[in-house]
Structure 1
Amino acid sequence: MARTAGFAAYKALTRRAARPQAAEAAPPRPRGVLIWIHCPLAARQKAAEQLANRLIAQDEGYTILLSFTEAGTQPLPDDPSLLHSTLPDDDSAAVTAFLDHWRPDLLIWMTGHLRPTLLNQARRQNVPMLLAEAEEDAFDEPRWGLRVTQSRRLLAGFHTVLASSANTARKLQRHGVEQALIEITGPLQEGGTALTCDDALRDDLAAGLAGRPIWLAAMVQLEELETVLDAHRRASRLAHRLLLVLVPARPEDADRMAEIMAREGWRALRWSRDDAPREETQVLLADGCDEMGLWYRLSPVTFMAGSLKRGMKGHDPYAPAALGSAILYGPFVSRHIASYARLSKAGAARMIRDSDGLQKALSRLIAPDQAATMAAAAWQVATDGAEATDRVIDWARAELDMAGTR
């Protein structure tokens, strides 16, 4: 009787902690293998997306279903292999309907903040489950103060538990997880895969620009152009051969930017129309974002635009970070705030607010050792956690092999 009452309290505490969900019509379940990734925390969305993209890149025809608990998540990339669903309330009817609809082949649950009814039902349906990057504070909720037998029953559904730290591993053992099931892997990777480029073209351009300091202003909106050009003009007084690679946020803005620069007397070339930059070239204007892998590789310093004016939301900083570029950014990056905060904490990114701040940052980072220090930190952050993500992918492939679904 005590056990029944305890479990009722356990479920009640979970329901109070859960965020109410609005009903929504789920799209049909696609054919083939469906891997469900649940990410309780908005701050870990990037890691969930990176894991999803890595699984999709296995070229096995996987569909990934992503769900979140916490408000604040951002729109997902437009990819037909990447679906999103609201997590159901933790009651039997909603959970059963959710699982019957999606019929996941695997469940990868991130961090913790577990849902007892959902996970127990998934176990009864024999869904293989892995707990990834388990975090110590994800098991600090009041329900974890209940009996070890109840927490053990809940955690027993996970075939493998990947802990983010040794402290987390010890806490999970206190909650009844067998030591043999726990691996300490750290958090999953947040940074994306490095963008590709034409290596021969990159080598030719690098050879032609040898000795010239280069910086990149990426995804620049028209409202930011004046700030970027003013900072470039003033920074060029200290580094006369400084070259700006300018990439508009919208290809249709390239003509307008070219007109503005011609009127102001800039010696600018259009990447799509002219030859390679010459010694006197001050600005190289790209026509769109198709060759960002090339520009990130060429530029030791990248200003991530779309971030200087109120109402802007910023762009993913892990793209330049993965290619070892120091990062500057404006204050309006709400879409990627957690990523910029992590890079800034590591010394890989620096916020600027205006033309003066951008010019001063550029003048410091023109020195190769300064840019190299930030770039190395950026690469470290972008690649940190790759082994943990690899471990999850290996687990998923092994489980699907055993089930004969690959």
Structure 2
Amino acid sequence: MSGPTIPLRLYGWLAPRLIARRLPALQERMAGAGLAPRAPEREGITTIPRPAGRTVWLHGASVGEGLALLDLAKGLRDAAPDLTCVLTTGTIGGAEVIAPRLTTGIIHQFAPLDDPRFVTRFLDHWQPSLCVLTESEIWPNTLQALRARGISAALVNARLSEKSLKLWARLPKTAAQLFGTFAFIHCQDDNTRQALHALAPTVPLRVGQNLKAAAAPLPADPARLQSLRDAIGTRPVWIAASTHAGEDEVLLDAHRTLLQTDPDLLMILAPRHPERAPQILPLMADLRIAQRSTGALPTSDTQVYLADTFGETGLWYRLADVGFLAGSLLPQIGGHNPWEGAALGLPQLSGPYVQNAAADYAALTAAGALWQVQGDIAPHLSRLLGDADARAQASAAALAAAASQGTQRADVLHDLLALLPERNAA
């Protein structure tokens, strides 16, 4: 293969300089979350010894991708118990959600930033036989390092935005070099498959279900769940999940409307980024609230429960009668993973902007488990909250749809296992 293209050379020169500027802010953020001892992981430095035997590196951006990869890691370990799986994510939220779910043979690390020095340290230490990236985690320096060392790589759950695909189409030689690194690519949809085939025609492509749909249901601590159920009692509950700035106001206004006819209604407001709580609190000055991060439970007169913690979404979905999945009211966000709620039988509503997972929303809509709404949200919430039969039907449809999504996982695991060296060759 010829040397790096000019864009890759430029990126290789520029990336370390940009990362050097960004690194202090990342370190400060990790220190603020009590993770200062783990900040060196972003530079490829770890205190964890490498176990003997074969190692697989799996990387996803944040919570949803990490949970899907955690499910794959467990599947790999079931098939090959000698494997060590190093699962990396790039966000604090990903670390906090995934860490309690780790099982034997699976290690979590923060991903090395895409500086060749950091990637080299990481690869020198862990010496993976296989690297599994997910969705749109295309890091040029990392991919070039993998190729230089002859480490097999796969891209699973590939999903590239129209903007990204247009960019790669303008850089066909660079795209061919990067995507040509992968031994196979599993695509979420046919549009991505067709685009990637044009960019890297020699790479085997598989198109199938979103692997997030096959992940295990989000867990919930039984004692915490019972404590919350005791506090809430028989009150009706809806959740505004994964909200972003600009959405909280709309959803709180819908709740104010609903309170006029059902003053007993409780809203759980779960921001996508819990650190936004100080910005959200002033929006609720006229409402009676309780805040999860303070340890408070909702009381009989609490109108909004601010769920400003990481790793407890499984609790909120189990408590709610109806969910509104945010990230869908703003076109620049594009929707979040609807399968987490579906796997727990939660009837869901969303806004119209779900282009990041259009096929998943379409599947759940067709099943009668999810409704995309525009305009005033309150009437749609009111309809579902007031119709127990409709909720029961939607819940059953959601569970059935989620249960049907597991077949692709086995195919992807088969393809990944085929890329591993024999046990005595590790």
TMscore range, shorter length: 0.5 to 0.7
Which residue of 395, 398, 423 maps to 1:375?
395
Confirm or deny that 1:56 pairs with 2:73: yes
- Structure 1 residue aligned with 2:225: 202
Displacement of 1:197 in angstroms is 2.2
Taking the aligned partners of 1:310 and 1:130, their CA distance within structure 2 comes to 31
Partner of 2:270: 247
Shift of 1:284: 0.7
Counterpart position of 2:95: none
Q: Is the 8 A contact 2:292 2:309 kept in 1?
A: no
* Residue 237 of structure 2: aligned partner: 214
CA distance in 1, matches of 2:411, 2:234: 42
Amino acid at match of 2:363: R
For 1:200, the aligned partner's letter is A
CA–CA separation in structure 1 for the residues paired with 2:271 and 2:65: 29
1:328 to 309, 329, 349: 349
How far does residue 369 in structure 1 lie from its aligned partner after superposition? 2.4
Q: Which amino acid aligns with 1:103?
A: G
The CA deviation at 1:215 is 0.5
What's the counterpart of residue 281 of structure 2? 258
Mind listing any 5+ residue stretches in structure 1 that lack a counterpart? 1-19, 38-46, 66-77, 88-96, 112-117, 141-153, 165-185
Cα deviation per residue 1:31-59 (whole Å; 9 max; x = unaligned)?
Answer: 9545899xxxxxxxxx9988744333456
Distance of 2:308 and 2:87 partners within structure 1: 33
Residue equivalent to 1:273:
294
Percent of aligned pairs with the same residue? 29
2-side partners of 1:110 and 1:195: how far apart?
19
Rounded to whole Å, the distance in 1 between the matches of 2:319 and 2:346 is 9
Check the 8 A contact 1:315/1:336 in 2, yes or no.
yes
Match of 1:230 among 247, 250, 253: 253
Alignment length (residue pairs)? 309
Q: Report the 3-state secondary structure (helix = DSSP H, G, I; strand = E; otherwise coil) of the residue aligned with 2:371.
A: strand
For residues 307 and 85 of structure 1, do their structure 2 counterparts lie closer, same or farther at Cα, with a shift above 3 Å needed? Answer: closer
The residue aligned with 1:363 is: 382
* Alpha-carbon distance in structure 1 between the residues aligned to 2:270 and 2:156: 38
Name which of structure 1's ranges 300-309 and 382-391 shifts more when overlaid on structure 2: 382-391
Residues 250 and 106 from structure 1, CA distance in 2 versus in 1: closer, same or farther, beyond 3 angstroms?
closer
After TM superposition, the structure 1 = structure 2 runs for residues 159-198 of structure 1, keeping only pairs within 5 Å, are 189-191=211-213, 192-198=215-221
Q: CA deviation at 1:267?
A: 1.6
Supply the distance in 1 between the matched residues of 2:289 and 2:146 (Cα, whole angstroms). 57
Query: For 1:114-193, what aligned pairs fall within 5 Å after superposition?
Result: 189-191=211-213, 192-193=215-216
Paired with 1:314 and 1:289, the residues of 2 have a C-alpha distance of 19
Q: For residues 34 and 206 of structure 1, what CA distance do their matches in structure 2 show?
A: 40
Letter in 1 for 2:409: T
Q: Which residue of 2 aligns with 1:302?
A: 323
Counterpart CA distance in 2 for 1:50 and 1:252 is: 21
* Offset of residue 286 of structure 1: 1.8
Whole-angstrom distance in 1 between the partners of 2:151 and 2:243: 41
TM-score, with normalisation over the residues of structure 2? Answer: 0.56
How big is the shift at 1:352? 1.8
Residue 368 of structure 1: how far off its partner (Å): 2.6
Quote the offset at 1:102 in angstroms.
5.7
The answer as to 2:406 corresponding to 1:386 is yes
Q: 2:156, 2:228 → 1: CA distance?
A: 45
How far off is 1:241 after superposition? Answer: 1.6
Aligned amino acid, residue 323 of structure 2: T
Which secondary structure does the structure 2 equivalent of 1:237 belong to? helix
Q: Are the equivalent residues in 2 in contact too, given 1:34–1:106 (CA < 8 A)?
A: no
Question: Quick check: which one's helix share is greater?
Answer: 2
8 Å contact kept, 1:189–1:382: no
Matches within 5 A, 1:284-303: 284-303=305-324
- The letter of the residue matching 2:397 is A
Letter of the aligned partner of 1:225 in structure 2? D
Unaligned runs of at least 5 residues, structure 2 = 17-49, 78-82, 89-109, 113-130, 159-176, 195-201
Shift of 1:268: 1.3
The CA deviation at 1:132 is 8.0
Match of 1:101 in 2: 148
Change beyond 3 A, Cα 1:203–1:62: same
Q: Against the structure 1 CA distance between its residues 277 and 402, is the aligned structure 2 distance closer, same or farther, given a 3 Å change threshold?
A: same
Asked if structure 1 preserves the Cα contact closer than 8 Å seen for 2:328 and 2:351, the reply is: yes
What is the rounded CA distance, in whole Å, between the counterparts of 1:137 and 1:311 in structure 2? 20
RMSD between aligned alpha carbons? 4.9
